[in-house]
A = this chain, B = another copy of it.
Amino acid sequence: MSEHTRLQIGKAALAQVDGSAADSVMHSLETIAPDVGKYILEFAFGDIYTRPVLDLKHREMITITSLLIQGDTAPQLDVHINGALNVGLTQEEIIETFIQCIPYIGFPKVLNAISTAKSVFVNRTA
């Protein structure tokens, strides 16, 4: 597969997950680190998100769990809570994903993620 193709495939995958957030991240990287934007498209979305075995709903469930657990990722969690909703997870499933993390990381990071989710949910209905 050519690099050009990976970029195209990545753009298509990211568009399914969160088109407008993607544009905004790519735009902010444009003058300072455009290759990082390219790697996100080619590698994260082109290579990984398009793999078989798990669908986009499962992939977003894993992604928001990853972001909650490692912490200090509120902007990325905002993008991927939106992405999770876009690919078909419900608000209830997103909150339930966070609740399942409590026994493994405790309450503070779960409260942070719920707080980010709350503002995403409010913004989408606004």
Contacts and interface: CB of A to CB of B under 8 A. Distances in A.
A61 B89 CA distance: 15
Given A70-B71, A96-B51, A118 B65 contact: no
A2 B1 CA distance: 6
A43 B101 CA distance: 12
A80 B104 CA distance: 12
Contacts of A65: 62, 65-66, 69
Given A61-B61, A72-B72, A115 B28 contact: yes
A40 B107 contact: yes
Interface string A102-126: 1111111111101101100100000
Interface string A33-75: 1011001100110011101011000110111011101111101
Contact of A107 (B36, B99, B108): B36
B72 A33 contact: no
A97 B2 contact: no
10 tightest A-B contacts by CB? Answer: A71-B72, A44-B103, A66-B104, A69-B69, A53-B96, A65-B65, A76-B108, A72-B72, A62-B100, A104-B106
20 contacts: A33-B98, A36-B99, A36-B107, A36-B111, A43-B47, A43-B103, A44-B107, A48-B100, A53-B92, A53-B93, A58-B61, A58-B97, A61-B62, A62-B62, A71-B71, A73-B109, A75-B111, A76-B107, A76-B111, A103-B107
